[in-house]
Structure 1
Amino acid sequence: MQHSIVFFSCCFRRLALVRADISRLPFVSGSIDALHAGAAIHCWPSPACAVAEISRVLRPGGIFVGSTFIADVLPPVIPLLRIGRPYIDQITGNNTFLSELELEDLCRACGLVNFTFVRNGFYIMFSATKAS
């Protein structure tokens, strides 16, 4: 199954729509000012590959804004979640539900800094900036 993301760019009254695989974005490194992924990360087969690719295409100082569902509402079960994730993925259709800390660590590992977020139960909206 191909997981895709749709991009659009509006400049000088022109609009370009691009449908692409999130793990192989058809953009030059450092060419995107901002990227939004709404309620998507938990659906990507490899959030780590996707966020690394997003970081690659963002220019230094560019911003990544996203939202997703997370699985750390009950902090004591986080270690069990990590152990049981392969089994949970089978039940949930290979969705990957990260914890808030895992999401922040993923952004940092991919060169994104200034991670900020707003939570509402299992739902998180966040932003991070490509390091300069």
Structure 2
Amino acid sequence: MLGESVLTTFSACRNLALVRADISRLPFASSSIDAVHAGAALHCWPSPSTAVAEISRVLRPGGVFVATTYLLDGPFALFPLLRPLRQNISQISGSHIFLSEDELEDLCRTCGLIGFKYVRNERFVMISASRPR
């Protein structure tokens, strides 16, 4: 039954395209995409700022970015002065980059997205923001 429901949903959405691409070079024209979803991926990107800027570029005015990721926790979250050190260590070691809610909001704002919202469940968070109309 679930399979039939999914097929019906895809049949009703003839303009739906699922694309797997390099987050730093999305294969879309500027202002051409209605929505971008990044499921449990943001903390894996080598440069979250480059990725979110690219997402902002391809979103049409009013387009929505939705993502899920894990949040920064522990001493780095408590001491903002340690954040640059944490990010440098993460980039050099190739490990994951975990951000706080404030950093995620700043990232979206810096990349031109507005209306930042989040829903947190312990260390897991879902965020959304949109490109201004």
Per-residue deviation at 1:89? 4.9
Once the two structures are superposed, what CA deviation does each residue of 1:83-116 show, in whole Å capped at 9, x if it has no partner?
A: 233235556x431111111110110011100000
Where 2:95 maps in the other structure, the secondary structure is coil
Cα separation, 1, equivalents of 2:82 and 2:11: 45
Work out the percentage of aligned pairs sharing the same amino acid: 57
CA distance change for structure 1 residues 56 and 20 in 2, over 3 Å: closer, same or farther? same
- 1:62 maps to a residue whose letter is G
Rg (Cα) greater in structure: 2
TM-score (norm 1): 0.80
TM-score (norm 2): 0.79
CA distance change for structure 1 residues 20 and 88 in 2, over 3 Å: closer, same or farther? closer
Tell which deviates more after alignment, 16-25 or 63-72.
16-25
Number of the residue aligned with 1:82: 84
Gaps of 5+ in 2: 1-9
Contact 1:23 1:50 in 2 (8 A): yes
Contact 2:46 2:91 in 1 (8 A): no
Higher percent of residues as strand: 1
What is the 5 A alignment of 1:96-115?
A: 96-115=97-116
Cα separation, 2, equivalents of 1:106 and 1:83: 17
Gaps of 5+ in 1: 1-8
What is the 5 A alignment of 1:1-132?
A: 13=14, 16-72=17-73, 75-89=77-91, 93-132=94-133
Tell which deviates more after alignment, 76-85 or 48-57.
76-85
CA distance change for structure 1 residues 55 and 15 in 2, over 3 Å: closer, same or farther? closer
Once the two structures are superposed, what CA deviation does each residue of 1:29-79 show, in whole Å capped at 9, x if it has no partner?
A: 111001110110000011001000000000000000001111046642333
Where 1:52 maps in the other structure, the secondary structure is helix
Cα separation, 1, equivalents of 2:20 and 2:71: 26
* Misfit runs of 4+, over 6 Å: none
CA distance change for structure 1 residues 36 and 101 in 2, over 3 Å: closer, same or farther? same
